Amino acid sequence: MNLRRLAVLLLIVALAVPAFSGISAAQEEKVLVIGHAESTDSLDPARGYTQTTGFVNHVTYETLVTFPDEDASEIIPQLATEWSVSEDGLTYTFKLLEDVVFSSGNPLTADDVVFSFNRLKNIKGNPAFLADSIASVEAVDTYTVAITLHQVDPSFLANLPNNNAFNVADSKLIKENGGTDAEDAATVDAAEAFLNQTSAGTGPYMLERWEPQVETVLVRNPNWRGELPYFDRIIVTNIAEPATQKIALEAGDIDLALDLTSDQIAGLENNPEIAIARSAAPIHHFLLMNRNPDIGGPVSDPLVAQAIRYALDYEGYLALWGGIQPGSDLAVGLAGALGPDQAIKRDLDKARELLAQAGYPEGFEITLSYPDFTFQGVNMNTNAQKIQSDLAEVGIQVTLEPAEMQIALEAYRTGTGGFSYWYWGPDFLDPADYLAFLPGGKVATERALWTPDVADPELLDLIEQAKVETDQARRLELYTQLQLMAQEVGTFAPFNQPDIQTAFRADLQGYIYHWQWLIDVALLSRAE
């Protein structure tokens, strides 16, 4: 056993059992250690909104409905046993499982669903926009809840498995610790600190400890209604550098590394102690060009934004990271997405022509901001340097400005960044998620300041049609039109949708990459 894992186990033993029984307990303790570059901003289910929050909350909380373990091929029950939709398509009625208890021992009722959804909406944190379509949530009886929408939303059910928003939480416990679902929850709710250290869900695990930028520790939920998961304890340790993750994995200090680069993965392929999994992933990398001239400067001009899209060397990013070139900010693989064959191809002459039309025949100088980060094997510094080189070919001189993740996130989320590089994974697995990148959507409106008041009226009309269209064929046709129009007038430049490559100890079993929650740690076990 390596020294780090031994130290972890001995600490556990020292805290939990008498010294004389330490050897026996250490042998019995089953611990999984995951290396991950990303931390999170909060584990409060109404506030946290990162990939880490999603996969942690996926096993500490549950949702009304979910997806199968392997894919998103259908919507299946979780806390709800069944549901029905009113004739007008506005009200969804869910029947809940009975005799379910939270990790606290408190029973689950419809009141907990009402509290959780209203708290999400009223706190108005990062995930709250996912509930914008909800007009009201009401408990019909102890185990029945009715959710009424403002308007028909064909993506509603596909939205509910999102563990960054629609977790059902223990209302009694949260209220006892300063929480509220009242309309003024944004200013008076005081439960975040509690929920950052103690989860309040019904999942197979519960939160034992979270130390930001250091580690997240989960333990098995003794009140879990199903078969207990294999591992007693899950430790997600924050390791920012992929090279350090690789060393830790080879040494056996961690069991699974989530952020190795392609070169590092290749260096592990002949190691019999390491297994490698590769999968298509819905996460794409893109440039954001703020549409407000006072912030974006030259890139606020739609002609300049289009020029930048033609200037990027898309084949070069594929050579670096693999994957595919997305045709839009709707991830290839989701229904309605443009395929790589419909994506913009590099055309430097066209880029120069557009720059000249915009009044920049000699180009211009600009700063590119981005997080100094490696995400799931893609080094953003490497991509930023290539973006700098690509744009220099058409006269755009880029100064690179990397920043620590949380600092970069603040500028991104507040719309104060002019020209920036980011990545995005779908909030929910439906083409309606793409609306986030169009005027009125969260990313476009709040982060790129591409607001409805400055948008093309034809584009706005198509958006409104797409929101409520229930005929699937017509719906997908509308999304095709929206994507093609955004290629011309949009303020984003998607340039790569890389594969995900994950390395783990060869004795680890049950790893499945999932488009919604990345990884389900409750499925993992160790060969014995």
Backbone conformation region of residue 138, classed left if phi is above 0, alpha if psi is from -120 to 50, else beta: beta
Check residue 57 and report its DSSP letter: H
Using one digit for the tens of pLDDT, what is the confidence trace for 55-102? 999 999 999 999 999 999 899 999 999 999 999 999 999 999 999 999
Does residue 19 or residue 414 have the better pLDDT?
Answer: 414
Pairing of strands 91-96, 80-85: antiparallel
User: What CA–CA distance (Å, rounded) separates 8 from 497?
Assistant: 37
Pairing of strands 233-238, 256-257: unpaired
Helix (H) or strand (E) holding 278: strand 274-279
Using one digit for the tens of pLDDT, what is the confidence trace for 214-255? 999 999 999 999 999 999 999 999 999 999 999 999 999 999
What six digits make up the tokens of 417? 């960044």
Closest CA to 293 of 491, 488, 494: 491
Lookup result for tokens 């679902």? 181
pLDDT number for residue 159 = 95
Q: What's the mean pLDDT in 420-447? A: 95
Closest CA to 285 of 326, 242, 339: 326
pLDDT bracket for residue 406 (50, 70, 90): confident
User: What CA–CA distance (Å, rounded) separates 30 from 165?
Assistant: 30
Lookup result for tokens 């093609």? 484
pLDDT number for residue 348 = 98
The percentage of residues in the chain with a pLDDT greater than 70, rounded to a whole number, is 95
pLDDT number for residue 8 = 40
pLDDT at 146 over 80: yes
Using one digit for the tens of pLDDT, what is the confidence trace for 189-225? 999 999 999 999 999 999 999 999 999 999 999 999 9
Using one digit for the tens of pLDDT, what is the confidence trace for 279-326? 999 999 999 999 999 999 999 999 999 999 999 999 999 999 999 999
Which of the residue ranges 4-13, 50-59, 113-122, 360-369 would you say has the lowest mean pLDDT?
A: 4-13
pLDDT number for residue 6 = 36
User: What CA–CA distance (Å, rounded) separates 283 from 376?
Assistant: 10
Check residue 255 and report its DSSP letter: S
pLDDT at 4 over 80: no
- Alpha-helical segments (H) within 290-393: 293-296, 302-311, 314-321, 348-357, 380-392
- Alpha-helical segments (H) within 225-313: 242-251, 262-266, 293-296, 302-311
Phi, psi of 60, rounded to the nearest 5 degrees:
-105, -20
Lookup result for tokens 């026996």? 24
Using one digit for the tens of pLDDT, what is the confidence trace for 318-368? 999 999 999 999 999 999 999 999 999 999 999 999 999 999 999 999 999
pLDDT number for residue 18 = 36
Using one digit for the tens of pLDDT, what is the confidence trace for 487-504? 999 999 999 999 999 999
User: What CA–CA distance (Å, rounded) separates 399 from 148?
Assistant: 49
In DSSP notation, 175-206 reads HHTT---STTHHHH---HHHHTTS--S-SSEE
Cβ(483)–Cβ(338) below 8 Å = yes
List the beta bridge partners of residue 382.
none
pLDDT number for residue 19 = 36
pLDDT number for residue 38 = 86
User: What CA–CA distance (Å, rounded) separates 344 from 326?
Assistant: 9
pLDDT at 3 over 60: no
- The domains located in the chain, with CATH, are 41-194 (3.90.76.10), 284-496 (3.10.105.10)
Cα dist from 74 to 61, 86, 207, 468, whole Å: 20, 21, 29, 21
Using one digit for the tens of pLDDT, what is the confidence trace for 157-185? 999 999 989 999 999 999 999 999 999 99
What six digits make up the tokens of 351? 């880029």
Q: How far apart are the first and last CA of the chain?
A: 15
Helix (H) or strand (E) holding 379: strand 378-379
pLDDT number for residue 175 = 98
Does residue 1 or residue 376 have the better pLDDT?
Answer: 376
Q: Report the mean per-residue pLDDT for the chain.
A: 93
Check residue 135 and report its DSSP letter: E
What six digits make up the tokens of 400? 């690179």
Cβ(169)–Cβ(199) below 8 Å = no
Cβ(517)–Cβ(352) below 8 Å = no
pLDDT bracket for residue 27 (50, 70, 90): low
Cβ(254)–Cβ(237) below 8 Å = yes
Q: How far is CA 80 from the centre of its chain?
A: 24
Buried b (16+ CB within 10 A) or exposed e, 377-414: bbbbeebbebbeebbeebbbebeebbbebeebbebbbe
Cβ(523)–Cβ(512) below 8 Å = yes
Angle at 33 between CA 32 and CA 38, to 5 degrees: 135
| Packing angle of the helix pair 472-489, 457-468 (nearest 10 deg) | 150
**3-class secondary structure for 450-511?**
CCHHHCCHHHHHHHHHHHHCCCHHHHHHHHHHHHHHHHHHCCEEEEEECCEEEEEECCEECC
Long-range (24+ apart) CB contacts under 8 A made by 171-176 are 171/111, 171/112, 171/115, 171/116, 172/104, 172/106, 173/102, 173/104, 173/106, 173/200, 174/115, 174/119, 174/200, 175/115
